[in-house]
């Protein structure tokens, strides 16, 4: 079974759509109602919609975000006096019915049952999700009997992932519904300050959980992946995602909150395949100037990346250059790995990680001291997690 790569859409989703249509980057899209109004999604080309899924994004059901209010089935919108758990229970089936009808009418590739994000290890967590969406949606789906696969959304925390008893509980629950073909799973990392996951315990536990889901004959789609998505290729048939801005490469509920804060645009960064990381564009230019051969080893050239490197000033965050470069170079990386048998994928991923460690040392020897988030602190934990996964599950 193929490991598909889907765009996790967010702000400026047009960039994702353009590179999917024009450059054949990725196998489809995950559409985001917090960023895309209902009418915008309905007007998408049929080819885009039929290769995409719609994430209803019920994670924060009382969200006041304007785009979400264009969907009549969103919990805050459909509940007469604004969302409360008790009042929503009275209209949960109507919300499910409308949401299912919307997904079927737009011919998305899969039907998604949404979930609320609960950040505590509640003993009745699965019962809460059942009441909130699972049972109402399954009832609505039984009326329509769609021919598309039905996926259950599973938003988890790091503590949930690393707790084996809790994972067992979740696994037993997810496999108890014969109607469910797959799981749309995402995990909020414990350390949100790091731009790459640096916990090998979390990564190994998450990979182990994904494998358990696949062995239970469930399809798996991992949402909100950063570059760590390439590690999940060690689970055959596990679909992964890639996104534009950081809030599409890490799961949190921040994007559903109304904020009055003025946020500065981030410093421009460029994705370097050889480093398996994004580095500040100014420091990328320093490496290119100091050692062209090293730069050639770490950089997978694209027209957009080259243009960003040669602009007289750094591109702004609302310019597409570095993001379209990421789409192209990362999708090429994933394509080169997913065609390999799983055992060979492991060897290729391990080799890339070991080479990346060498490249970081060579950059330091230039000397160029990369800023905190660009230094490759994720490489060793990723090696530890992949090696342990190989020894535990893949080694003959």
Instruction: Write out pLDDT tens, residues 147-168.
Output: 999 999 999 999 999 999 999 9
Q: Is 28 left (phi over 0), alpha (psi -120 to 50) or beta?
A: left
R_g (Cα) of the chain, nearest Å:
21
Answer yes or no: is pLDDT of 245 > 50. Answer: yes
Answer yes or no: is pLDDT of 209 > 70. Answer: yes
- What's the mean pLDDT in 192-206? 92
Compute, in degrees rounded to 10, the torsion defined by CA atoms 33, 58, 318, 41: -10
- What's the mean pLDDT in 255-269? 73
Answer yes or no: is pLDDT of 263 > 60. Answer: no
pLDDT (tens digit per residue) in 369-382? 999 999 999 999 99
pLDDT of residue 265: 64
Residue 361: partners with Cβ closer than 8 Å, 6 or more residues away: none
Residue 64 near residue 76, CB atoms below 8 Å: yes
pLDDT (tens digit per residue) in 91-106? 999 999 999 999 999 9
Answer yes or no: is pLDDT of 261 > 60. Answer: no
Task: Give the distance from CA 222 to its chain's centroid.
Answer: 6
Asked if the peptide bond before residue 34 counts as cis, ω within 30 degrees of 0, the response is no
Give the sign of the dihedral formed by CA 137, CA 224, CA 243, CA 353. Answer: negative
Answer yes or no: is pLDDT of 311 > 60. Answer: yes
pLDDT band at 266 (very low <50, low <70, confident <90, very high): confident
Q: Hey, how many other C-beta atoms are within 10 angstroms of the C-beta on 201?
A: 15
Strands 28-31 and 269-272: unpaired
Residue 248, both tokens: 């599409």
pLDDT of residue 260: 47
What CA–CA distance (Å, rounded) separates 326 from 78? 38
Bridge partners (DSSP) listed for residue 211: none
Bridge partners (DSSP) listed for residue 54: 31
What CA–CA distance (Å, rounded) separates 191 from 195? 9
Q: Is the whole model's pTM more than 0.95, yes or no?
A: yes
Query: Which domains, ranges and CATH numbers included, belong to the chain?
Result: 5-256 (3.20.20), 269-394 (no CATH)
For the ranges 110-124, 160-174, 289-303, 309-323, which has the lowest average pLDDT?
A: 309-323
Average pLDDT of the chain to the nearest whole number: 95
Answer yes or no: is pLDDT of 262 > 60. Answer: no
pLDDT (tens digit per residue) in 125-154? 999 999 999 999 999 999 999 999 999 999
Residue 29, both tokens: 């899209």
pLDDT band at 191 (very low <50, low <70, confident <90, very high): confident
């Amino acid at each position: 079974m193929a490991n598909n790569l889907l765009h996790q859409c967010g702000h400026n989703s047009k960039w994702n759509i353009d590179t999917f249509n024009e450059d054949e980057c990725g196998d489809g899209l995950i559409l985001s109602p917090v960023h895309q109004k209902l009418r915008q999604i309905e007007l998408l080309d049929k080819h885009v919609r039929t290769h995409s899924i719609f994430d209803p994004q019920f994670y924060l059901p009382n969200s006041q975000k304007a785009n979400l209010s264009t969907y009549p089935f969103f919990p805050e919108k459909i509940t007469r006096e604004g969302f409360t758990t008790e009042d929503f229970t009275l209209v949960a089936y109507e919300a499910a019915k409308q949401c299912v009808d919307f997904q079927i009418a737009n011919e998305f590739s899969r039907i998604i049952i949404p979930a609320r994000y609960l950040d505590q290890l509640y003993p009745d967590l699965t019962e809460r999700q059942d009441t909130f969406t699972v049972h109402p949606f399954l009832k609505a789906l039984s009326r329509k009997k769609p021919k598309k696969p039905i996926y259950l959304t599973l938003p988890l925390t790091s503590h949930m992932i690393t707790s084996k008893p809790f994972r067992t509980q979740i696994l037993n629950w997810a496999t108890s519904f014969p109607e469910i073909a797959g799981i749309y799973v995402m995990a909020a990392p414990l350390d949100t300050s790091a731009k790459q996951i640096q916990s090998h315990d979390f990564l190994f536990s998450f990979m182990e959980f994904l494998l358990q889901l696949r062995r239970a004959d469930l399809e798996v789609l991992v949402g909100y992946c950063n570059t760590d998505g390439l590690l999940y290729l060690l689970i055959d048939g596990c679909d992964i995602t890639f996104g534009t801005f950081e809030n599409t490469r890490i799961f949190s509920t921040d994007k559903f909150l109304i904020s009055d804060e003025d946020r500065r645009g981030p410093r421009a960064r460029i994705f370097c395949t050889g480093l398996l990381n994004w580095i500040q564009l100014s420091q990328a230019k320093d490496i290119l100037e100091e050692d062209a051969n090293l730069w050639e080893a770490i950089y997978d050239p694209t027209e957009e990346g080259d243009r960003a490197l040669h602009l007289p000033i750094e591109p702004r965050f609302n310019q597409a250059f570095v993001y379209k470069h990421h789409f192209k170079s990362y999708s090429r990386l994933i394509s080169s790995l997913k065609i390999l048998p799983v055992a060979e994928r492991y060897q290729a991923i391990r080799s890339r990680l070991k080479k990346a460690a060498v490249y970081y040392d060579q950059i330091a020897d230039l000397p160029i001291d990369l800023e905190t988030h660009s230094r490759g602190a994720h490489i060793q934990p990723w090696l530890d997690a992949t090696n342990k996964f190989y020894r535990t599950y893949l080694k003959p």
